[in-house]
Amino acid sequence: MIGQERPWDVIVVGGGIVGAATFYKLQQRFPRLRLLLIEKEAHLADHQTGNNSGVIHSGIYYKPGSYKARNCVDGRRELVKFAQEHGVDHDICGKLVVAVEQGELARLDGIWERGHANGIEEMRRVNAADIREIEPHCTGIAGIHVGCTGIIDFRRATERMAEVTVERNTESTFRLGERVIGLSQEAGVSTVRTDKGMHRAGTVIVCGGLQSDRLAKGDGLRFPERIVGFRGDYYELEDHAKHKVRHLIYPVPDPRFPFLGVHFTRMTDGSIECGPNAVFSFDREGYGRTDLDPRDTADALTYVGTWRLFMNNMAYGINEYRRAFSKRLFLRTLRRLVPSLSMNDIRPGRAGVRAMLLATDGTMVDDFRIEVQGRHIHVLNAPSPAATASLAIGGAIVEMAVDRLGLGAQEPQPIR
């Protein structure tokens, strides 16, 4: 045990935004609990959180009644309030979902209906003239303007959640650069082993992101699915072309595929990002096009679900890989929404990796998934819009800890 420290009431593993939001929500609910957040990287939000598109999603796309739908809408409102109160850069700038051909209109109608079912405020249907008024360089035949969508600095939001938590209780803390290598529990006491020692606690909550399945299975949780990583590459608009995109522009998503498609996002720093694509990643935490981790590659390619995914989406996957290595093909996709873009208008940008829980039949587990193992709670699947929904997810985890683990039933007592 590091420095023979006192046991903690709760340990949160993982310093992405879901982990930080859970850390924050726990302390808000139970100000006297001593909490520890452990993150293996030198900075919070270094993987999925810090490398996503920075969008505050409205909740318009998700199946009514799903965890995604409920938590996205509630979480969005909480996140905006948090950003306002704690000085996190954000802008509720609105976005356009644009249909460019007749075959997309029925899907656009479906999105509209889901938006109403999910209680999304500030939605309106728009025609071709409206689209040109909102985004003069965008071409479409119909669309939906979603006024409550926005952009935010998710890295800073994550940092502020952790900072506010330790400001509220100086006995709570977060530790960076410490990798969790094992979890165990015996007689009501949990032990978290790291590459720097051991910590003990009454309750452990694991928000492992790209490593969530490994941490859960190492803790004795049994499930057939496996995490598979998908890298998304972005381009950026050159300074001379930034005027071509004012806010956010999205295509109508194709329901055959699990991603929202290549879109345009004005970031909080003023840059304009275009993307991402979605290609299988040979490295769960690799952001280069040729990055390869032997363990990650073996885990993915020895899993039947990966091959069934490949077979079920062969044409889509080949096309995504071609775009990953061809600026011209990427531009062709971007020009569906903004036809005036040229090769000189875009430059290669950053990349991100998304963790998707993949079933044995090759389908992606679409909704959030959280499981209990003894006195441990594991977030197994938190795909987009998890960053937007993070505070709602954190609140749900706290309620789960109260209802199923009895957290907070009595005053904190030292573990002997």
The identity of residue 121, as a single letter, is E
Q: Are residues 315 and 354 in the same domain?
A: yes
C-alpha to C-alpha distance for 127 and 99, rounded to whole angstroms: 10
Of residues 145, 154, 153, 152, the one with CA closest to residue 94: 145
Q: Are residues 8 and 44 in the same domain?
A: yes
Longest Cα–Cα distance of the chain, Å, equals: 70
Instruction: Output the pLDDT for position 411.
Output: 52
Give the contacts of 335 (CB within 8 A, at least 6 positions apart).
341
Instruction: Output the pLDDT for position 63.
Output: 92
Q: Over the chain (416 residues), what is each successive 10-residue block's mean pLDDT?
A: 74 98 98 98 96 94 92 97 98 97 96 96 97 97 98 98 98 98 93 97 97 97 96 96 97 77 93 92 93 96 96 85 89 96 97 94 93 97 95 98 88 46
Instruction: Output the pLDDT for position 111.
Output: 96
Q: For the purposes of burial, counting CB atoms within 10 Å of the CB of 318, is it exposed (0-12), middle (13-18) or buried (19 or more)?
A: exposed
Domain span at residue 280 reads 226-236+274-364
Give the DSSP H/E element, type plus range, for residue 346.
Answer: strand 346-358
Q: Are residues 309 and 351 in the same domain?
A: yes
Give the contacts of 183 (CB within 8 A, at least 6 positions apart).
13, 190, 191, 192, 193, 204, 206, 215, 218, 219, 376
Is residue 22 included in any domain, yes or no? yes
C-alpha to C-alpha distance for 90 and 96, rounded to whole angstroms: 18
Give the DSSP H/E element, type plus range, for residue 228.
Answer: strand 226-237
3-state secondary structure at position 337: coil
Q: Are residues 315 and 342 in the same domain?
A: yes
Q: In CATH, what number is assigned to the domain containing residue 16? A: 3.50.50.60
3-state secondary structure at position 222: coil
The identity of residue 230, as a single letter, is F
Q: For the purposes of burial, counting CB atoms within 10 Å of the CB of 314, is it exposed (0-12), middle (13-18) or buried (19 or more)?
A: exposed
Is residue 41 included in any domain, yes or no? yes
Of residues 377, 349, 291, the one with CA closest to residue 51: 349
Q: Are residues 349 and 376 in the same domain?
A: no
Distances (CA, A) of 257 to 7, 251, 310: 46, 13, 12
Q: What are phi and psi of 180, to 5 degrees?
A: -80, 130
Q: Are residues 295 and 336 in the same domain?
A: yes
Is residue 332 included in any domain, yes or no? yes
Q: Are residues 278 and 401 in the same domain?
A: no
Is residue 415 included in any domain, yes or no? no
User: Tokens at residue 286, please?
Assistant: 């690799």
Instruction: Output the pLDDT for position 57.
Output: 97
- 231 DSSP β-pair partners: 279, 353
Number of H helices, E strands in the chain: 11, 20
Instruction: Output the pLDDT for position 1.
Output: 46
N-terminal to C-terminal alpha carbon distance within the chain: 13
> Domain total for the chain?
2
Is residue 126 included in any domain, yes or no? no
Give the DSSP H/E element, type plus range, for residue 368.
Answer: none
C-alpha to C-alpha distance for 200 and 259, rounded to whole angstroms: 39
C-alpha to C-alpha distance for 377 and 403, rounded to whole angstroms: 12
Is residue 141 included in any domain, yes or no? no
Give the DSSP H/E element, type plus range, for residue 351.
Answer: strand 346-358
Four-CA torsion 229, 17, 208, 381, nearest 10 degrees: -60
Q: Are residues 310 and 211 in the same domain?
A: no
Distances (CA, A) of 374 to 7, 37, 185: 18, 20, 8
Q: Are residues 353 and 280 in the same domain?
A: yes
Instruction: Output the pLDDT for position 324.
Output: 84
